[in-house]
Amino acid sequence: MAVTEKAMHATNGHTSPPASKPADGYTIIGSRPVRPDGVDKVTGRAIYGADVRLQGLLYGKVLRSPHAHARILSIDTSKAEALPGVKAVVTGADLPTAADKVEDLGESAINLKYLSANILAHDKALYHGHAIAAVAAVDSHTAEEAIGFIEVKYEVLPPVMTVDDAMADNAPILLDGLRTDEMGEMGSKPTNLAKHFRHQQGDLAAGFAAAEVVVERTFRTETVHQGYIEPHTGTAQYNTDGQVTIWASTQGTFAVRNQTSEILRIPVSQIKVIPTEIGGGFGGKINVYLEPVAVLLSKKAGGKPVKLVMSRTEVLQATGPTSGSNIRIKIGADANGKITAAHAELYYEAGAFPGSPVGAAANVVLAPYAIDNLQVDGYDIVVNRPRSAAYRAPGGTNAAYATESVLNEIAEKLGIDQAHIRLINGAKQGDRRPDGVQHTEPIGLLETVQAIAESDHYNTPLTGKYQGRGIACGYWNNWGGKSSATAVLNADGTVSLNEASTDIGGSRASIAMQFAEAVGIGYEQVKPRVGDTDSVAYNDVTGGSRTTFSTGMAAHNMGVEMLSQMKERLADVWEVDAVEYADGEFSGGDNHISFQEAAALIYKTGEPLMVSSTVFPRSFGPGFSTQLADVEVDPETGKVTILRYTIAQDVGRAIHPSYVEGQMQGGVVQGIGWALNEEYIYNEKGQLLNGSLLDYRMPTALDLPMIETILVEVPYPGHPYGVRGVGEVNIVPPAGAIANAVANAIGSRMFELPMSPARVLEAMKE
């Protein structure tokens, strides 16, 4: 098979792990140590959400709506309650009345009424799979039988499934109170359009008038899911003293605490959230689904702990997905390929409640390029699909797919090389984002384009008739957010590092490395752990590519502070004015001792030493990525095979290069799935047809070549080690790169994602 013959190039002679050596000027950073939680994860000992085992544990199940849009007329739970082994049944009626008020719970703003209604439906079921009621029983089979005995009467309403459905005249209205918000001006009529906003700079008409070539295209992208392999879980115990303990597999324990507190009207002081290991999130494990329901069930069951675990079908029906979208892009360029004007209209499906990532998409859509005259219109639209959640650079992939496709059409019309047109237009320090905010610090977009243009891959010709090559660029703003941590100096010279960023992809390692670098001790001497919400100060979610950046900054600060305190303590003990620290040795007067000896001495001679740091960096370095895809299309079936794939990404500074590469490869492959085969398929009643991993087709190992990575390092000056977030931007370009490669291979362009075989075959006929 072509895919693997090609890919073999990548592995020949490269099967041993890359050498682990620090970057120039560092002792730890840039090396590739084994992660602290590694052994537990390869031996099966690591405890994930569903692995929590407690005395007297009850098992819960959720009854979900079979209808996409229906009024709930009545719910009768009496037969379920009567079933032997059933300990509690709850419905939306058990939820406290939620305020009709928008709150920012540390991640995204949402109306508390909607947040509550998504946990257990209030008066309406708004999507197939919307939670209606839940049961706790002595075992999962009993709980499952019990939900079958709950009788719900629905008045089925017509489903509203797409942007076009939702915006049609006389479209059924999902949310009675919803009015369009246009930058603070509220519409007067009931609507499904929650929000419209606009970025506008320069003179659009003049820009288009100055263009030699103008291309305008409309694109459609389908709903896709994050696809983490661990289904959502939630375990909770409501103690008789009113204290609540939640065991959560989440991207943010404090986000779980805040949301549960708001939904259940329980003060945060009464809620402790204990993080388990987390089996993937990608943005989808920030919203709570099960935790508040488990608390309600536990309370009703007399305080016994209750565990809820979703099936894969429930995960696909009721969690996650990111928005399907309609996107119109118009770009004009002069004869040299310089963009003179661009207009983007983004219509994003938020799912059942407002809050699609269209705001982020509006910033991504034109961001790689310096454009004087531009307009971006964003529309947030509710439809009868699950409430959308963040998904890795939320909204970015759809947006970049559209822009990058149009840009390549312009390059083709002008006869300009696809890398070159990106070099001509690429944004650099001093240029402005589409929303007008200036890049005041260095950014690495042009360096990533250059890296691709100079790569072996780009300079190796294609060899087959139906092969094609595509480039695309992408931007992600990244995030800072709040982080908190403590570090305790142990008598043996090790340091216990207590932080609260749940570790999804090796961040305990990258944080411990930054601490070790700051202190000048070995990585193995730092023992990081992720604490619960009672053990550290507030900490934002592991999301927005912020953890290695912000929590790493806190680790660095603690390292500096610990050294400073150790010097003071040693100065006291030695009765000297100043203590120096170099090459792992403290010296003052005639005294010279190692870090380990110093730790022992401090332990013996005074109070224990602990430092802490809380940070909230307001500035952070954005990420840029340029990617190159080679594909081959089977002209008789329309199937697209990825022959070769290279990603160049500005990573600022790679703390642990293996995990940086892993982020890049993983993001690319999620993007490949999005581009080629992943999509939500609904029937005319709005019921999800492909709610399984058989028919929701995420890439398998056999669908891919090796993913070649080029780590471009343009350090971000605002971070002590130059770190930029690396987790997200990698998913932005793939659909655009592949669309450009497919167009290059078959000579016609795809305006719809996914580019599944049937669609490619159709495009080839045209």
Q: DSSP 3-state assignment of 119?
A: helix
Interatomic CA distance for residues 103 and 112, integer angstroms: 7
Instruction: Give me the 143-182 binding string for another protein, x by CB under 8 A, dash otherwise.
Output: -x------------------------------------xx
230-259 residues in contact with another protein (CB under 8 A) are: 230-231
Report, in Å, the least distance between residue 71 CB and another protein. Answer: 26
Choosing from 169, 176, 185, 766, the residue that interacts with another protein (CB under 8 A) is 185
Span interacting with another protein, options 128-136, 171-179, 570-578, 628-636, rule CB under 8 A: 628-636
Instruction: Give me the 333-362 binding string for another protein, x by CB under 8 A, dash otherwise.
Output: -------------------------xxx-x
The residue (of 492 and 524) whose beta carbon lies closer to another protein is 524
The residue (of 48 and 574) whose beta carbon lies closer to another protein is 48
Greatest alpha-carbon pair distance for the chain in Å reads: 87
The residue (of 486 and 756) whose beta carbon lies closer to another protein is 756
* Torsion angle defined by CA atoms of residues 400, 403, 404 and 407, in that order, rounded to the nearest 10 degrees: -170
Choosing from 539, 548, 625, 756, the residue that interacts with another protein (CB under 8 A) is 756
Report, in Å, the least distance between residue 573 CB and another protein. Answer: 40
Query: Of 428, 248, 406, 252, which is closest to residue 339 (Cα–Cα)?
Result: 406
- Please report the sign of the dihedral spanned by the C-alpha atoms of residue 79, residue 81, residue 82, residue 86: positive
The residue (of 252 and 559) whose beta carbon lies closer to another protein is 252
Span interacting with another protein, options 61-69, 137-145, 163-171, 448-456, rule CB under 8 A: 137-145
The residue (of 205 and 229) whose beta carbon lies closer to another protein is 229
The residue (of 227 and 736) whose beta carbon lies closer to another protein is 227
Interatomic CA distance for residues 567 and 577, integer angstroms: 10
Contacting residues for 716 by C-beta, under 8 A, at least 6 apart: 441, 442, 620, 621, 652, 653, 722, 723, 724
522-541 residues in contact with another protein (CB under 8 A) are: none
Residue 748 lies near another protein (rule: CB under 8 A): no
Tell me, rounded to whole angstroms, the distance of Cα 18 from its chain centroid.
Answer: 27
273-302 residues in contact with another protein (CB under 8 A) are: 277-284, 286
Residue 511 lies near another protein (rule: CB under 8 A): no
The residue (of 23 and 571) whose beta carbon lies closer to another protein is 23
Residue 11 lies near another protein (rule: CB under 8 A): yes
649-668 residues in contact with another protein (CB under 8 A) are: 656, 658-659, 661-663, 665-668
Report, in Å, the least distance between residue 630 CB and another protein. Answer: 15
Q: DSSP 3-state assignment of 663?
A: helix
Contact 678, 324 (CB under 8 A): no
Report, in Å, the least distance between residue 587 CB and another protein. Answer: 37
Choosing from 21, 41, 71, 592, the residue that interacts with another protein (CB under 8 A) is 41
The residue (of 165 and 679) whose beta carbon lies closer to another protein is 679
- Please report the sign of the dihedral spanned by the C-alpha atoms of residue 196, residue 199, residue 203, residue 204: negative
94-133 residues in contact with another protein (CB under 8 A) are: 102-104, 107-109
The residue (of 353 and 581) whose beta carbon lies closer to another protein is 353
Report, in Å, the least distance between residue 689 CB and another protein. Answer: 5
Q: DSSP 3-state assignment of 752?
A: strand
Q: DSSP for 345-388, please give it.
A: EEEEEEESSS--THHHHHHHTTTTB--SSEEEEEEEEE-SSPPP
Choosing from 300, 392, 508, 569, the residue that interacts with another protein (CB under 8 A) is 392
442-471 residues in contact with another protein (CB under 8 A) are: 464-466
Residue 142 lies near another protein (rule: CB under 8 A): yes
The residue assigned the tokens 């200036």 is 438
Burial class (CB in 10 A: 0-12, 13-18, 19+), 578: exposed
Residue 183 lies near another protein (rule: CB under 8 A): yes
Omega cis (within 30) before 720: no
468-497 residues in contact with another protein (CB under 8 A) are: 476-480
The residue (of 41 and 592) whose beta carbon lies closer to another protein is 41
Number of residues interacting with another protein: please give it, by CB under 8 A: 152
Choosing from 24, 55, 188, 229, the residue that interacts with another protein (CB under 8 A) is 229
Span interacting with another protein, options 71-79, 138-146, 578-586, 596-604, rule CB under 8 A: 138-146
Choosing from 73, 99, 335, 681, the residue that interacts with another protein (CB under 8 A) is 681
Instruction: Give me the 44-83 binding string for another protein, x by CB under 8 A, dash otherwise.
Output: xxxxx-xx-x------------------------------
Span interacting with another protein, options 118-126, 444-452, 589-597, 684-692, rule CB under 8 A: 684-692
Give the N- to C-terminal CA distance of the chain in Å, as an integer. Answer: 28
Mapping DSSP onto H, E and C, the string for 600-637 reads HHHHHHCCCCEEEEEECCCCCCCEEEEEEEEEEECCCC
Tokens of 735: 């659909």
Vertex 547: Cα angle to 544 and 552 (nearest 5): 145
Q: How many helices (H) and strands (E) does the chain have?
A: 20, 31
Choosing from 114, 127, 149, 228, the residue that interacts with another protein (CB under 8 A) is 228
Choosing from 133, 390, 399, 526, the residue that interacts with another protein (CB under 8 A) is 390
Query: Of 264, 414, 249, 385, which is closest to residue 325 (Cα–Cα)?
Result: 385
Which amino acid type is present at position 160? V
Residue 553 lies near another protein (rule: CB under 8 A): no
Contacting residues for 747 by C-beta, under 8 A, at least 6 apart: none
Tell me, rounded to whole angstroms, the distance of Cα 441 from its chain centroid.
Answer: 24
> What φ, ψ does residue 158 adopt, rounded to 5°?
-65, 135
